[in-house]
Every structure is written in C-alpha cells, then in structure tokens.
Amino acid sequence: MVVLLICSDFMEKTIVLTCTTYFRQDFSIFDFVENFSTIFFHEKILANNGCKIIIINEFSPENIKNLMFNSSLIKKEFPAAIFIQKNKSESGQAHSLNLMLGMIKTCDYHVQWEEGWICTAPFLKAAITLMETTSIVQVGITDDWLNTPEIQPPQSIPSMVERYRAIIANPSLYQLKSYLPHLNNYRYISELLNKVDINIWPLYSLRPSVNKISFLKTLPLFPVFSSLWPVRFEYIYGLFWLLNGGEKGMLENSAARRSHNKKSTYTEIVI
C-alpha cells in the first residue's frame, strides 16, 4: 500500500486508488488502459508496486467470456491492481461502489476515478493537504461547479501555492434531514424523490476526486434498488453525505478531463 508523506507537519497517509469500469464494444479494455495510465504519469507515487489499486468491471456475458484475457492485461499494465469482474447478481454501479467501500476502510484517503476520465496534472498533495488543514472531506479535481452560484471565491491551500474553492450547498437540502433515518426504505426514498428537485445536488460526486475515508466510514452504503439507477442512487447517497456533515472543495486548477473515447454508460447498462 502506498504511503505518501505530505510534508514534515503531517504523519504519513495511506492512499487507495479505485476505478469502476464497463468494458464493451465502444469502450474496450484498451481504451481503459490508455485513460487510466494517465494517472500514474502525473502521480508517479501511485505507480509504486505497493500502492493499493482496485478496478471493478461491470457484468456482461462478454466480460465473463473475456475474463482471462482482461485479468491478464490488467495484471500486465497495472501489476499492483486488484481486478474484480462482477457476476450477474452484482450488476449495477451501486453494487460496484459498495464493493469498493468495503475494501478501502483501512486506508486514510481514497482517490476515486471513473473510466471515462484522463488525468491532466498532479493533484494528490494539494487535495490531501487541503483535507488535513480544513474540514473538507471531498476534493474534486474536475472543473465542475466552477461557474455555479454555489462556488466560493478562491482561497489558498495552507503552505502551498495552489488554491481551492469551497462549495456551499443549497439551504433547501438541509430541510430534508428528517428523511435520513428512513433512506434505507424504498417507500420513503420514492416519496422523497417525488418531492425534491434532483437538479439541486447535494455536492457529493462520483467524478474524479480525493475523499477522506474516516468520514466515508460513518455513512451507509449506496442504495441498490434498480429503479434508482441512474443518478437517483447517487443523489440519495449524496444526501447522506451532506446531511452527516460532508463539506466539498474543488481545486481551482482542474486535474482531470473527460476522455474523447468515452460516452456515458447511463444509456448502456441494463440492471
């Protein structure tokens, strides 16, 4: 497991890198390898053979058929990676994320990645320094929110030249706190989703970010009801995240962009 020494003021921190994938005709394992390799170009410490890397691939009959080939290629390209091919009973992104959450608990920080993103700049030291010196628990490294009303003016990250911008959640979201004890119940989830504007987002995102695992361990798992996919399962988890004290920041200079060879799997996976 990789150990990152932030600076002399901090203790060593352990990091885990995870990525959810779905190999298919229009996004092959070779596309994934090309995208995922960019992380190690910019963050060479994650290329260390001791780094904990978890790759979870979505179920399909074709992926089961190609399991031996896919596993061998992942092992060749990313020797430290744990490659998990899901079976049919584990179909759906929520199952992938719950598997991931169960495997990262012993680490301090979680680099969360998705297959369709390319790393464009270093980000680890800035993100972890920010979370070590503030109450922020998720640092986004894409350019989301940078032109929205919720974004705050730039601030310096302590002891660094890099800057970040905090994001303030819409106050209406905090009025939903009474639902928290019931969000493992499908009836209450359905009732809530019929009342809210899902475009008012509770800040948490599955896009590339760095997350404080001690905070993630205080939250429940993602709801796996198939009717909540896509988007709605992430919204419900985001509510748990926000209403339990989650705070979000974004690096002012983004470090990830969407790949040109990737379109959303939201229109492709059937669960």
Q: Is the pLDDT of residue 266 over 50?
A: no
Q: pLDDT of 226-243, one tens digit each? A: 889 889 999 999 999 999
pLDDT of residue 263: 56
Which is more confidently placed, 265 or 27? Answer: 27
Of 89, 84, 62, the closest CA to residue 268 belongs to 62
Q: Which two tokens stand for residue 212?
A: 């404080």
Residue type, 263: K
**228-235 contacts at long range (C-beta below 8 A, 24 or more positions apart):** 228/94, 228/189, 229/92, 229/93, 229/94, 229/269, 229/271, 230/93, 230/266, 231/198, 231/266, 232/193, 232/198, 233/93, 233/94, 234/204, 234/205, 234/206, 235/193, 235/198, 235/201, 235/202
Q: Which residue has the tokens 């203790």?
A: 11
End-to-end CA distance of the chain: 33
What is the pLDDT of the chain when averaged over all its residues?
89
Q: pLDDT of 105-153, one tens digit each? A: 999 999 999 999 999 999 999 999 999 999 999 999 999 888 888 899 9
Which of helix, strand or coil describes residue 138? strand
In terms of C-beta density within 10 A (0-12 exposed, 13-18 middle, 19 or more buried), how is residue 94 classed? Answer: buried
Triad 188, 90, 100: Cα angle to 5°: 85
Contact 100, 20 (CB under 8 A): yes
What is the phi-psi region of residue 16: left when phi exceeds 0, alpha when psi lies from -120 to 50, beta otherwise? Answer: beta
Which of helix, strand or coil describes residue 182? helix
Separation between Cα atoms, residue 48 and residue 78, nearest integer Å: 10
**Would you give the DSSP letter of residue 151?**
B
In terms of C-beta density within 10 A (0-12 exposed, 13-18 middle, 19 or more buried), how is residue 123 classed? Answer: buried
For a pLDDT cut of 70, what percent of the chain falls above it? Answer: 90
Residue 158's pLDDT band, with cuts at 50, 70 and 90, is confident
In terms of C-beta density within 10 A (0-12 exposed, 13-18 middle, 19 or more buried), how is residue 49 classed? Answer: exposed
Q: pTM score, two decimals?
A: 0.91
Which is more confidently placed, 111 or 52? Answer: 111
For the chain, the domains span 3-267
**Does the domain spanning 3-267 belong to CATH 3.90.550.10?**
yes
Q: pLDDT of 180-189, one tens digit each? A: 888 888 899 9
